Amino acid sequence: MKLNVGILGATGAVGQKFVRLLEDHPWFTVTAVAASERSAGKRYRDAAHWIEPTPMPEGVADLEVQLCEPGLDCDLVFSGLDSSVAGTVEKAFASAGYPVISNAKNHRMDDDVPLLIPEVNPDHVDLIHRQTYSDSGFIVTNPNCATVGLTMALKPMQDAFGIEAVHVTTMQALSGAGYPGVASLDAVANVVPYIGGEEDKLETEPLRILATRTGEGPHSSVTSLSIPISAQCNRVPVIDGHMECVSVKLVGSPSLVAIEKAIRGFSSPDEISVLPSSPASCLEVDHSDSAPQPRRDVHRGDGMTVSVGRVRSCPVFDARFVVLSHNTIRGAAGGAILNAELLAARGLLPRRLA
Amino acid sequence: MKLNVGILGATGAVGQKFVRLLEDHPWFTVTAVAASERSAGKRYRDAAHWIEPTPMPEGVADLEVQLCEPGLDCDLVFSGLDSSVAGTVEKAFASAGYPVISNAKNHRMDDDVPLLIPEVNPDHVDLIHRQTYSDSGFIVTNPNCATVGLTMALKPMQDAFGIEAVHVTTMQALSGAGYPGVASLDAVANVVPYIGGEEDKLETEPLRILATRTGEGPHSSVTSLSIPISAQCNRVPVIDGHMECVSVKLVGSPSLVAIEKAIRGFSSPDEISVLPSSPASCLEVDHSDSAPQPRRDVHRGDGMTVSVGRVRSCPVFDARFVVLSHNTIRGAAGGAILNAELLAARGLLPRRLA
Amino acid sequence: MKLNVGILGATGAVGQKFVRLLEDHPWFTVTAVAASERSAGKRYRDAAHWIEPTPMPEGVADLEVQLCEPGLDCDLVFSGLDSSVAGTVEKAFASAGYPVISNAKNHRMDDDVPLLIPEVNPDHVDLIHRQTYSDSGFIVTNPNCATVGLTMALKPMQDAFGIEAVHVTTMQALSGAGYPGVASLDAVANVVPYIGGEEDKLETEPLRILATRTGEGPHSSVTSLSIPISAQCNRVPVIDGHMECVSVKLVGSPSLVAIEKAIRGFSSPDEISVLPSSPASCLEVDHSDSAPQPRRDVHRGDGMTVSVGRVRSCPVFDARFVVLSHNTIRGAAGGAILNAELLAARGLLPRRLA
Amino acid sequence: MKLNVGILGATGAVGQKFVRLLEDHPWFTVTAVAASERSAGKRYRDAAHWIEPTPMPEGVADLEVQLCEPGLDCDLVFSGLDSSVAGTVEKAFASAGYPVISNAKNHRMDDDVPLLIPEVNPDHVDLIHRQTYSDSGFIVTNPNCATVGLTMALKPMQDAFGIEAVHVTTMQALSGAGYPGVASLDAVANVVPYIGGEEDKLETEPLRILATRTGEGPHSSVTSLSIPISAQCNRVPVIDGHMECVSVKLVGSPSLVAIEKAIRGFSSPDEISVLPSSPASCLEVDHSDSAPQPRRDVHRGDGMTVSVGRVRSCPVFDARFVVLSHNTIRGAAGGAILNAELLAARGLLPRRLA
């Protein structure tokens, strides 16, 4: 029997992606959709300006949109809320006993909230036991859409060698700004060398995700690493797919062969690779000259595979490479769903209702 | 009386830009156009697939396209030749007594050839006196379209502090690849993280341009600096304007205030600022959050101004910033024309013909 | 001595275009800028999110933005107001004695308001004498951005033969929707086959502009023609320039040669061709296979020339062709300025203030 | 047991689409790939510059590319050949006994060749019995990529009322020009109002497809209708999906209600709807204001559904509407595969080899 899930912020761009990715999900069924007062009371089909490239799932289209308040008829909620409201709304749901699987930034850096990439730091899940919202409610978050690709690419290097410094310049897709998001006159045939708040996230979130958890259960703790990361973020006229040019300085200046071997050797832990949304390969290295590219490669692993290309030595640091990840799937709704699957597999998502 | 100029590779994208920028030039008149056998013998209007956004200048439209061989009726030549032929053709013209103002890469790193940005290293002009092609012929080059913006931005920092290391990631316009250049299916809504040969140029050319000339006349010499530069080059769906995200490590780790002051204090030498193609400001610092942008800012100074924005501190190095320059004007034909103007002002472009 | 002009809606996209086109205008100086309450009281440089590709004119940047209420210190006003407010605001200014040169749609079809393209129906100016707003105030309008190209191309055919029916399909630029306008996720690599209200304007405005004025001064009158026009309007990812594929049925089914001759023979009346914003050629016929194109040809005549191409016979009607016009210059601010120039040349724009 | 198929022109854009669409096809297995001399002898993975957004199918990647000459080890061939060679090569294969399912234009208008859209004119298949290439070889073609959407939309109107005249303006995707195809400098932020040969195809092919077959087997015959169609074709910066704005004049000027009812009532014949590549709905009517759009709707029915929107009355003719179809799936490889499925279902594709 499937778990019933609610979607907070269901009419927005991330909310719609949740709706689409959860269509036919083997473990979850969408039974509740919630949004702002403007949408509440309408059918989802009337409230949402549907922007996904496949038709709106029939089962959800007829749901009545509710307010983002506890009382939704479901076992857990996914949050695609805007950060202007996510902070308090998510707390309210956790306090009311709901597991909250959030894509919002608000609680990502909370001491007791896992900032989770299942393939990278599944043991951080333990932090939920420190949370005191209610008996059964808690919050789990996934990182910023640009953080996830960088962090997955850095993980094997951190494990094998240790990282000393990182330079990263991003070229981020328009869908990362939601809908309506970037004005077309700013986007077409243009680059905008600034995305509010993004560089800060990219310079801090990986340090929390890559950190080692200490203690267990209610005593678990994560202290961010203190590696300097310099991020420069740009918006480019691409639909889906964040590209990142990365340069890393590693402990002991390992050879390029050793670095490539480390990246290539990285794979999902067994616990993760069996989850429904886990791709065949979570980190794929491409050897062709001019890969990865958003239009060509962003759909690998149904948007859950992170692609790495152009691994080569760096005249300044030790290695350079390009990372591509799907910003609204791996970097948002898909990442959150994988988080929920990990929690479900560990028995942390009990049925709430009789 | 104006100097007569010939254009080598006149039907190509760079050649067309020469034709357009030289329309109504106060010092130069196009009297000869040369291209490959396929075009030779035709009128320019029939030979060139005109891609400039203003009509083909009438005076040039009726010229007969000639072969790229010495004998052209002109005082000097501009070369917009492809690198596959530029090496030997330019030598042949220099040997036949023509000053060759080249945009091609072939002779840029020759010991006796100035690789010139008039505002940065005008004294490198002296190297032409080492050349032995002929009594009056010589070769002068301008740098790669991505080099020029980076180098102009680095110049004041090198002068004020000294540079220890540079990271640069470029987002380069489609026009940089010429015509037909990049296939639209590779360009639209995409990023290609590779431009053949480009990273190497960006890692070496600035080191020659920023170097100090020693000796004079036939004894002049330039030895490239040995600063490590790490360049990652990307093609993005922009028409004109190369964007570059730069991070620099400086000697003595100066304050951001001092760095900004240095950039802001940079201006054209008087000898340069009076040249016809010199912009009012060669290096402009923009303080708005999200500038510079190709579509908004690339036309500053008629495409000859280099824009710098987002100057800020860097968690890894000392400062970060964004540079924008017009790749086919400042970075190609316009840069070459400014070089020729400097030579003319110094009396190095005598009239060849009675 | 120049006339002082105010700009209503000065911070919007059309308002900014007015500001830029009026920089260095020989007859007009911008002395007042007005916008909504949100902007009023700020300096223009702070109130406007400047989107033009050249720097904001210094003279205007320091003006204080005022409310859109009579009392502005100027001899006439240009209106770039949104249609949600233009109706009443423009009336208020006309009633207060200001000539109002409007780009808004609200009063275009009023019986006593000229809907004006100077090269097409300059005699419609007479309608202002029917207006009773005040002694000196009146309203003059220019047509919708897609109407102007179509109408100018139809004018010589209407004069030479008479038009029986028109099919037109437009491909309209993003700038036609203002700023922020179309969301980039709707624009990039996409076509939106709908523009609210646009088809109706395209099917009615040309019929008023092409109509013959009867009577004079306060007795002048214009009755729209009753030619069926079928318009299908699309938004395409182009920055500037509305393309229109047109097919026309003409009285007497003239030969293609006769039709081409008519188009080619069309030129500005002498009264118009001497105005400062009048292009050398108001209607240019291009014979190349694949012209006109927005990126290549939209800047002809500084955006005031309408380009016609691919004139050929039609299997269903008599002739087909493609029209391109610059939607924010000829189709908006530039068209309005040309209207004002015509009025000024006729002595209809007296100095209001001592 | 599956039929073995060869692909002619396998390395090109259409050829690659065949390879991708035939991966996991229930009836066909790719056993041979053929291309020009440049590719022959190489492995497919090395010969093809793969541009599809999913990885190259492993089974095909290792095939050796052969020359386009009879002798290929397969039961039938799909032809994605360029028209410069398709004419003779396809004849050679038919003469050698191969069924040739072609996407090329060369034989489309041959008297004895079916120009086939299975949902529209399945009975035209009979024409193959007039062909005399060999005992078992024949040629079947699918229409031009822009023809198929128009023709499917016209079919129910032709059946219900009869068509008197058609105006169509297309906005065609870049992928329709193959690879490298349109230069990005012609494509980005631009419209090209010309596609060589396209208007002629759009004005003639529908008339053959919509015509009634007379006679049977070797006596079957198809005479094109003589309805005037006026086509204006444009290239727009869209990746996949041809949009067409259509206006139709119908016999008896039926009401819009009747026209909509006719379109809505159209569905695949039972014989077709059971074929593997047949979409759930071959012609879908969308009622929203601004549909269909390429990016949103082109993937309906895995690219095999034709979308119709904005059905409304026309001031000049009887009805107007917008059609969208996937140009490289329904309009090329997918259409050809559906043709082959129909032939297979009718027993017209016998196993050639023991």
Residue in D52, D54, D293, D329 to test binding to A, most A beta-carbons within 10 Å: D54
Please indicate whether residue A299 is annotated as part of the active site. no
Question: What are the two backbone dihedrals, phi and then psi, of residue B142, each rounded to the nearest 5 degrees?
Answer: -110, 155
pLDDT surpasses 70 at A353: no
User: Residues of A with CB below 8 A from D298's CB?
Assistant: 53
- Please indicate whether the domains covering B3-144+333-345 and B147-326 agree at the CATH topology level: no
User: What pLDDT sits at residue B53?
Assistant: 87
Average pLDDT over residues D277-298: 95
D13 in the Ramachandran plot: left (φ > 0), alpha (ψ -120 to 50) or beta?
A: alpha
User: Residues of B with CB below 8 A from D174's CB?
Assistant: 184-185, 188
Q: Could you give the 3-state DSSP secondary structure of residue A106?
A: coil
CA distance B294 to chain C (A): 9
User: What pLDDT sits at residue B28?
Assistant: 98
Nearest CA in chain D to C172: D191
Nearest CA in chain B to A241: B190
Report the distance separating Cα D167 and Cα D288, nearest Å: 23
Q: Catalytic: which of A68, A74, A124, A145?
A: A145
Q: Catalytic: which of B107, B124, B167, B242?
A: B242
Residue in C175, C200, C242, C245 to test binding to D, most D beta-carbons within 10 Å: C245
Report the distance separating Cα D254 and Cα C185, nearest Å: 38
Q: Which of A129-138, B51-60, B143-152, C253-262 has the lowest mean pLDDT?
A: B51-60
pLDDT surpasses 90 at D353: no
Report the distance separating Cα D323 and Cα D335, nearest Å: 17
Contact between D179 and B182 using a beta-carbon 8 Å cutoff:
no
User: What pLDDT sits at residue B353?
Assistant: 66
Interface ipTM above 0.85: yes
User: What pLDDT sits at residue A354?
Assistant: 56
User: What pLDDT sits at residue A1?
Assistant: 84
Nearest to B315 among A228, A236, A316 (CB): A228
CA distance A352 to chain C (A): 38
Nearest to B299 among C51, C54, C189 (CB): C54
Give per-residue pLDDT as tens, A325-341.
999 999 999 999 999 99
Contact between C236 and D290 using a beta-carbon 8 Å cutoff:
no
| Cis-peptide, bond into residue B292, ω within 30° of zero | yes
pLDDT surpasses 60 at D354: no
User: What pLDDT sits at residue C107?
Assistant: 98
Q: Which two tokens stand for residue A208?
A: 């929390």
Asked whether the whole model's pTM tops 0.90, one would answer yes
Sequence letter at residue B123 = D
The residues spanned by each domain of chain B are: 3-144+333-345, 147-326
Report the distance separating Cα A6 and Cα A77, nearest Å: 5
Report the distance separating Cα A296 and Cα A327, nearest Å: 15
Cα–Cα distances in angstroms (integers) from residue B169 to residues A53, A240, A310, B230, in the given order: 32, 20, 14, 8
Please indicate whether residue C145 is annotated as part of the active site. yes
User: Residues of A with CB below 8 A from B236's CB?
Assistant: 171, 191, 236-237
The separation between CA C148 and the C-alpha centre of its own chain, rounded to angstroms, equals: 6
Q: Residue C145 contacts by C-beta under 8 Å, 6 or more apart in sequence?
A: C172, C176, C242, C325, C327, C328, C331, C332
User: What pLDDT sits at residue A73?
Assistant: 95
Average pLDDT over residues D142-164: 98
CA distance B314 to chain A (A): 6
| D156: nearest Cα among D85, D79, D81, D210 | D210
User: What pLDDT sits at residue A53?
Assistant: 87
Give per-residue pLDDT as tens, D172-221.
999 999 999 999 999 999 999 999 999 999 999 999 999 999 999 999 99
CA distance A13 to chain D (A): 14
User: What pLDDT sits at residue C54?
Assistant: 87
Q: Which two tokens stand for residue B176?
A: 């940089």
Query: Is there a contact between C238 and D191 (Cβ–Cβ < 8 Å)?
Result: yes
Q: Which chains touch B (3 or more CB pairs under 8 A)?
A: A, C, D
Give per-residue pLDDT as tens, A1-40.
899 999 999 999 999 999 999 999 999 999 999 999 999 9
User: What pLDDT sits at residue D331?
Assistant: 98
Residue spans of alpha helices (H) in chain C: 13-22, 44-47, 58-61, 83-95, 147-160, 184-187, 198-209, 256-265, 270-273, 294-297, 334-345
Q: Which chains touch C (3 or more CB pairs under 8 A)?
A: A, B, D
Average pLDDT over residues B298-311: 97
Q: Residue C325 contacts by C-beta under 8 Å, 6 or more apart in sequence?
A: C145, C148, C149, C152, C241, C242, C298, C306, C307, C331
**At the topology level of CATH, where does C3-144+333-345 sit?**
Rossmann fold (3.40.50)
User: What pLDDT sits at residue D237?
Assistant: 98
Q: Which of A38-42, B105-109, B305-309, C49-53 has the lowest mean pLDDT?
A: C49-53
User: Can you list the residues of chain C whose pLDDT is less than 70?
Assistant: 353-354
Average pLDDT, chain A: 97
Report the distance separating Cα C155 and Cα C210, nearest Å: 7
**CATH of region A147-326, choose from 3.30.360.10, 3.40.50.1240, 3.30.365.10, 3.40.228.10:** 3.30.360.10
Got the DSSP string for B232-300? EEEE-S-SS-EEEEEEEEETT---HHHHHHHHHH----HHHHTSTT--S-SEEEE-STT---HHHHTTG
Report the distance separating Cα A54 and Cα D274, nearest Å: 22
Give per-residue pLDDT as tens, A75-122.
999 999 999 999 999 999 999 999 999 999 999 999 999 999 999 999
User: Residues of C with CB below 8 A from A186's CB?
Assistant: 180, 184
Contact between A183 and C181 using a beta-carbon 8 Å cutoff:
yes
Contact between B51 and C296 using a beta-carbon 8 Å cutoff:
yes
User: What pLDDT sits at residue C354?
Assistant: 56
Give per-residue pLDDT as tens, A215-251.
999 999 999 999 999 999 999 999 999 999 999 999 9
Report the distance separating Cα A32 and Cα A18, nearest Å: 12
Average pLDDT, chain B: 97
Residue in A182, A247, A297, A316 to test binding to B, most B beta-carbons within 10 Å: A316
User: Residues of C with CB below 8 A from B189's CB?
Assistant: 188-189
Average pLDDT over residues A201-225: 97
Task: Label each residue of chain D as H, E or C.
Answer: CCEEEEEECCCCHHHHHHHHHHCCCCCEEEEEEEECCCCCCCEHHHHCCCCCCCCCCHHHHCCEEEECCCCCCCCEEEECCCHHHHHHHHHHHHHCCCEEEECCCCCCCCCCCCECCCCCCHHHHHHHHHCCCCCCCEEEECCCCCHHHHHHHHHHHHHHCCEEEEEEEEEECHHHHCCCCCEHHHHCCCCECCCCCHHHHHHHHHHHHCCCEECCHHHCEECCCCCCEEEEEEECCCCCCEEEEEEEEECCCCCHHHHHHHHHCCCCCHHHHCCCCCCCCCEEEECCCCCCCHHHHCCHHHHCCEEEEEEEECCCCCEEEEEEECCCHHHHHHHHHHHHHHHHHCCCCCCCCC
Sequence letter at residue C282 = C
User: Residues of C with CB below 8 A from D186's CB?
Assistant: 293
Report the distance separating Cα B216 and Cα D172, nearest Å: 61
pLDDT surpasses 90 at B44: yes
Sequence letter at residue B64 = E
Q: Which of A63-72, A256-265, B47-56 has the lowest mean pLDDT?
A: B47-56
User: What pLDDT sits at residue B54?
Assistant: 87
